[in-house]
Structure 1
Amino acid sequence: MTRVRSRPSGRIARLRRACTALLLAAGPALADETCQSPYMVRITGVEDFVYVWTLGVEGLGDGSDKLVTVDVREGSPTFGRPIHAAPVGGRHEAHHGGFTDDRRQFWAAGLSDSRIFIFDVATDPAKPRLVRVIDDFVEKSGGAAGPHGAYALPGRMLIPSLSNKDGTGKAALVEYSNGGDYIATHWLPTAEAPNGAANAAVADGYGYDARVLPRRNVMLTSSFTGLDNYMRPLPELMKDAEAMKRFGQTMVVWDFHARQPRTVLHVPGVPLEIRWAWGPQHSYAFTSTALTSQIWLVHEEAGGAWRAKPVADIGDPAALPVPVDISLSADDSTLFVDTFMDGTTRVFDVSDPHRPKQIYEKKIGAQLNMVSQSWDGRRIYYTSSLLANWDKTGAENEQFLKAYAWDRKELTPRFSIDFTAERLGRPHMMAFGARSLYAN
């Protein structure tokens, strides 16, 4: 494992201070997504566009994965409509992505062949342009595979992997420069290779999300499964008892600056998305477990030890609603939780993070995956696709982007786009764009 210690340049240090100041001043003027890296430049004002990283479908349109731009400007003649698509050529199991810290590029990952697609979103924010493809991720990383997404660090991108070149779940965190040059690989701890982590007996080496709490020098990672599982049809996978044992049951607390795992937390049931609280004195994060349908809290105790515990059920766990994405409001008061199988979004009051209470729910569609909310909490966006081989079939294979207004009591529809009718594909991840970011 190669270890590096971040030594940001003067420009990056200034950028970090500016981002921190914006974060601490989290008022209604900040309309960016809540679930982003704290190192990233933020939108001031309302978002103009929603970028949708979309899986291609054979025989539908050009059949290619693509980054779709949707106009979300109120009063625009194209409001609520797709206005641009940037195809990448072929189908690569489009999944997650993220902006660089300066927000001039959007990096989008493909799970099936480990390609990373870099889009220029600064030159014309309405029309992102593919400018580079990283096609040697497995080779450069030393065997990591299945790049899950991209998370902005100062001058760098952190790429969590889901798998390795053998198709199993042993995963890594891989760093690149913003220019696309490989820097380092950090393997997740296993019982056989704990890399210095405490409680390594439960370490399974699986990876998924990675998020940083800078003021505590803490990075948290979660776990999913390897390529051999996530590329199989879901009904077939669920009938394979041995394969169902090969899912993550852990989260890892890291020393962020040293990129050193500190301790492994046992979180059974496949913990997926990680959402750190934003409050300057809040040292905790939420995740949800896909197979046990629970909200888990990861929190710092007196003395600096980190603990994980289940704090609420999501729907009826016995019915396997399968929680897939969560979104924490900027004031840390509410948590949106999407469940794939019943197509429902639920809102929890998490003002007491140890005792969440469900306060609202709404069925969004036959299936449901991602949720993105604006910083002021007034606009919520949803997409439908989970994985190409896991999405529902027939009439229940709904593929949509839906937008709602949220007044903390009710979700009110703003617009809906049928991605199948538009011949675009399966919409997965969303990200916000704005012309104001590049005005000067």
Structure 2
Amino acid sequence: MARIRAWPPGRLALACCAAWMLVTEPARADETCQSPYMAKITGLEDFVYVWTLGVEGLGDGSDKLVTVDAREASPTFGKPIHAASVGGRHEAHHGGFTDDRRQFWAAGLSDSRIFIFDVASEPAKPRLVKVIDDFVERSGGAAGPHGAYALPGRMLIPSLSNRDGTGRAALVEYSNEGDYVATHWLPTEAAPNGARIEATADGYGYDARVLPRRNVMLTSSFTGRENYMRPLGDLMKDGEAMKRFGQTMVVWDFHARQPRTVLSVPGVPLEIRWAWGPQHTYAFTSTALTAKLWLVREDAHGAWSAKPVADIGDPSTLPVPVDISLSADDRTLFVDTFMDGTTRVFDVSDPDRPRQIYEKKIGAQLNMVSQSWDGKRIYYTSSLLANWDKTGVENEQFLKAYTWNGRELAARFAIDFTAERLGRPHMMAFGAAALYAP
């Protein structure tokens, strides 16, 4: 296993400063949604790592981290060149790099396992080096780890559920070495933990993102294991189950890990994207069940509020927005909708008044979008959840790459993950060999 740098607690302020310097330096690549504490790629990405759900009878049937060659001069450009299987199917979902980018942590929603890959020793061929299989026990009952977010010397793991399968969720911290550190439960009406509650506090979790210069962390909300592991068709017919979805976002004092305000954001707010501008104190999210863009903003007095600022497609048709990507200049927002397989591009230069400027159907279904720092390369994947993906001919499973010139998308390459016998591609992350050069 590659040696991981540890950050003593006293160096947190210095780390924040260094992170912000990295953010404001010019960069030609990397994803715009990554943690500000994380080392950045300053050249073009060499690889796209795709955390992929296994499919029974397809290849080895296991979840795996697939490496796709993104080097345009390479003879294997646009092709899968490596797959690191983890053995079995664990509902592969989200993941993230450690702050030094030497490891990639990938989560499984069904059995709460976390898989740690060494990506530094041989970036084209990540290697599984550790499995955390006691997440539920060590965290005190959190379950359904949803990705991993880099903090200085630590990884923050938002959970979607708990050992009872309900929606009460937590934020769980680990050291970069994979040792449990702390659990922070999301506030509820019964246990607000000091938070001011606008309308309700449902305790659901999903994404977690930090704005270091304002000492603010923002979390969003989804649903518990009893819902996300059910077939989507059955779930949508169950009126009581459909009531058990998130309606809130929480503003936290980041350093204290203390919830401050529970904002009312009805409709299941999912991915959070902070603006990058040094004077911008706002973030966007989208609501899956109401198909709206929301703006979360701090006012001149330091108070935070949330409001809907645009519709995404026709909300009455339930397009189900699932992922968003904000450009590094804070001017353009890509929004993916699962049910109609469409990506929409909004001009958000005025964040209070987003305006759609483009749309394109990418496939029969669509989930994640990753955008390079320079805004020129866009990647899409198809799979949402094993029991929620479409069936039959509409069960398209792909990674598709495009260029964006500010007006339209042009195809670069596409990989059919079913034809390649790899599985259901979900989350993407960029890799670059130069990061680990001596």
Residue of structure 1 equivalent to 2:20: 20
| Other structure's SS at 1:272 match | strand
Distance, in Å, in 2 between the alignment partners of 1:248 and 1:33 is 27
Deviation for aligned residue 1:21: 1.1
Distance, in Å, in 1 between the alignment partners of 2:425 and 2:321 is 18
| Other structure's SS at 1:202 match | coil
Residue of structure 2 equivalent to 1:160: 158
Check conservation: 2:198, 2:264, Cα contact below 8 A.
Answer: no
Q: For residues 320-356 of structure 1, what are the alpha-carbon distances to aligned partners after superposition, in whole Å with 9 as ceiling and x for unaligned?
A: 0000000000000000000000000000000000000
Residue of structure 2 equivalent to 1:218: 216
Query: What are the within-5 Å matches in structure 2 for residues 4-403 of structure 1?
Result: 8-10=9-11, 15-25=15-25, 27=26, 29-199=27-197, 202-403=200-401
One-letter amino acid of the counterpart of residue 319, structure 1: T
Check conservation: 2:102, 2:118, Cα contact below 8 A.
Answer: yes
Distance, in Å, in 1 between the alignment partners of 2:340 and 2:277 is 32
Check conservation: 1:285, 1:299, Cα contact below 8 A.
Answer: yes
Which ranges in structure 2 are unaligned for 5 or more consecutive residues?
Answer: 1-6
One-letter amino acid of the counterpart of residue 69, structure 1: T
Q: For residues 28-78 of structure 1, what are the alpha-carbon distances to aligned partners after superposition, in whole Å with 9 as ceiling and x for unaligned?
A: x33110001000000011000000000000000000000000000011000
Distance, in Å, in 1 between the alignment partners of 2:299 and 2:313 is 29
Distance, in Å, in 2 between the alignment partners of 1:20 and 1:30 is 17
Deviation for aligned residue 1:19: 2.7
Question: After TM superposition, where is structure 1 displaced by more than 3 Å over at least 4 residues in a row?
Answer: 6-10, 12-18
- Count residues with an aligned counterpart: 432
Distance, in Å, in 1 between the alignment partners of 2:393 and 2:19 is 45
Deviation for aligned residue 1:14: 5.3
Deviation for aligned residue 1:412: 0.2
Q: For residues 82-112 of structure 1, what are the alpha-carbon distances to aligned partners after superposition, in whole Å with 9 as ceiling and x for unaligned?
A: 0000000000000000000000000000000
One-letter amino acid of the counterpart of residue 169, structure 2: A
Check conservation: 1:190, 1:200, Cα contact below 8 A.
Answer: no
Distance, in Å, in 1 between the alignment partners of 2:14 and 2:248 is 35
Distance, in Å, in 2 between the alignment partners of 1:89 and 1:23 is 37
Distance, in Å, in 2 between the alignment partners of 1:310 and 1:21 is 32
Q: For residues 175-200 of structure 1, what are the alpha-carbon distances to aligned partners after superposition, in whole Å with 9 as ceiling and x for unaligned?
A: 00000000000000000000000016
Q: For residues 116-162 of structure 1, what are the alpha-carbon distances to aligned partners after superposition, in whole Å with 9 as ceiling and x for unaligned?
A: 00000000000000000000000000000000010000000000000
Check conservation: 1:175, 1:184, Cα contact below 8 A.
Answer: yes
Check conservation: 2:52, 2:425, Cα contact below 8 A.
Answer: yes
Distance, in Å, in 1 between the alignment partners of 2:220 and 2:330 is 20
Distance, in Å, in 2 between the alignment partners of 1:210 and 1:367 is 25
C-alpha spacing 1:13/1:261, structure 2 compared with 1 (3 Å)? closer
Residue of structure 1 equivalent to 2:4: none
Deviation for aligned residue 1:7: 6.1
Distance, in Å, in 1 between the alignment partners of 2:179 and 2:80 is 32
Check conservation: 2:16, 2:212, Cα contact below 8 A.
Answer: no
Distance, in Å, in 1 between the alignment partners of 2:18 and 2:241 is 46
Check conservation: 2:248, 2:266, Cα contact below 8 A.
Answer: yes
Q: For residues 398-426 of structure 1, what are the alpha-carbon distances to aligned partners after superposition, in whole Å with 9 as ceiling and x for unaligned?
A: 00000000000010000000000000000
Deviation for aligned residue 1:314: 0.1
Check conservation: 2:199, 2:263, Cα contact below 8 A.
Answer: no
Check conservation: 1:104, 1:121, Cα contact below 8 A.
Answer: yes
TM-score by length of 1: 0.97
C-alpha spacing 1:156/1:45, structure 2 compared with 1 (3 Å)? same
Deviation for aligned residue 1:15: 4.9
Check conservation: 1:20, 1:38, Cα contact below 8 A.
Answer: yes
C-alpha spacing 1:200/1:172, structure 2 compared with 1 (3 Å)? farther
| Other structure's SS at 1:107 match | strand
Residue of structure 1 equivalent to 2:417: 419
Check conservation: 1:19, 1:42, Cα contact below 8 A.
Answer: no
Distance, in Å, in 1 between the alignment partners of 2:91 and 2:325 is 23
Distance, in Å, in 1 between the alignment partners of 2:295 and 2:229 is 29
One-letter amino acid of the counterpart of residue 24, structure 1: T
Distance, in Å, in 2 between the alignment partners of 1:299 and 1:287 is 11
Check conservation: 1:248, 1:269, Cα contact below 8 A.
Answer: yes
Distance, in Å, in 1 between the alignment partners of 2:22 and 2:256 is 26
C-alpha spacing 1:13/1:435, structure 2 compared with 1 (3 Å)? farther
Deviation for aligned residue 1:302: 1.5
| Other structure's SS at 1:229 match | helix
| Other structure's SS at 2:110 match | coil
Root-mean-square deviation (CA, aligned residues, Å) is 1.1
Deviation for aligned residue 1:16: 4.2
Check conservation: 2:199, 2:264, Cα contact below 8 A.
Answer: no
Residue of structure 2 equivalent to 1:433: 431
Distance, in Å, in 2 between the alignment partners of 1:322 and 1:228 is 20
Distance, in Å, in 2 between the alignment partners of 1:423 and 1:18 is 42
Distance, in Å, in 1 between the alignment partners of 2:19 and 2:374 is 17
